[in-house]
């Protein structure tokens, strides 16, 4: 029972990671267009870029996501079935009844990462002046 609960927790964590990457880009674009200052926060933007950068790097290196691997191990220990492919390809296939080779997902991740990089130019990070030069 504990392995199933842990596997479900990893699944929720994984879905949250994916949501952060996707919604982070959508909110950055929307927020920049609407003048929301928080979307220019350097910590948020750095974390967002790092999150998609890790996905792109793993895809290019052919590395299965560690969260997928961990969930599969936990599901096996719980006596449940595991994914035949990666987390995203599994759920995209299940949601859209569409299966694609790994290169399609690598290309999609890369293009998405390129969009995130583009937003750094289009809606640049707001850098605060250091306190020592606030009156300059």
In the chain, % of residues over pLDDT 90 = 46
The candidate with the shortest Cα–Cα distance to 40, out of 27, 21, 54, 53, is 27
pLDDT of residue 126: 78
pLDDT of residue 78: 85
Q: Mean pLDDT over residues 9-19, rounded?
A: 87
Does 8 score more than 90 pLDDT? Answer: no
Gap between the Cα atoms of 19 and 52, Å rounded: 11
pLDDT of residue 71: 87
Query: From the CB of residue 83, how many other CB atoms can be counted at a distance below 10 Å?
Result: 17
In the chain, % of residues over pLDDT 70 = 80
pLDDT tens per residue across span 36-94: 989 999 999 999 999 999 999 999 999 988 998 998 899 899 887 766 666 665 665 46
pLDDT of residue 44: 94
The candidate with the shortest Cα–Cα distance to 47, out of 116, 126, 110, is 116
């Amino acid at each position: 029972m504990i392995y199933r609960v842990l596997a479900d927790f990893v699944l929720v964590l994984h879905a949250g990671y994916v949501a952060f990457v996707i919604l982070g880009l959508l909110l950055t674009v929307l927020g920049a267009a609407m003048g929301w200052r928080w979307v220019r926060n350097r910590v948020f933007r750095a974390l967002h870029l790092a999150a998609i950068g890790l996905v792109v790097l793993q895809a290019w290196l052919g590395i299965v996501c560690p969260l997928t691997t961990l969930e599969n191990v936990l599901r096996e220990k719980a006596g449940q079935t595991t994914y035949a492919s990666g987390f995203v390809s599994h759920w995209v296939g299940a949601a859209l009844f569409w299966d694609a080779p790994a290169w399609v997902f690598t290309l999609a991740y890369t293009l998405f990462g390129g969009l995130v990089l583009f937003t750094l130019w289009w809606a640049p990070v707001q850098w605060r002046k250091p306190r020592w030069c606030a009156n300059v």
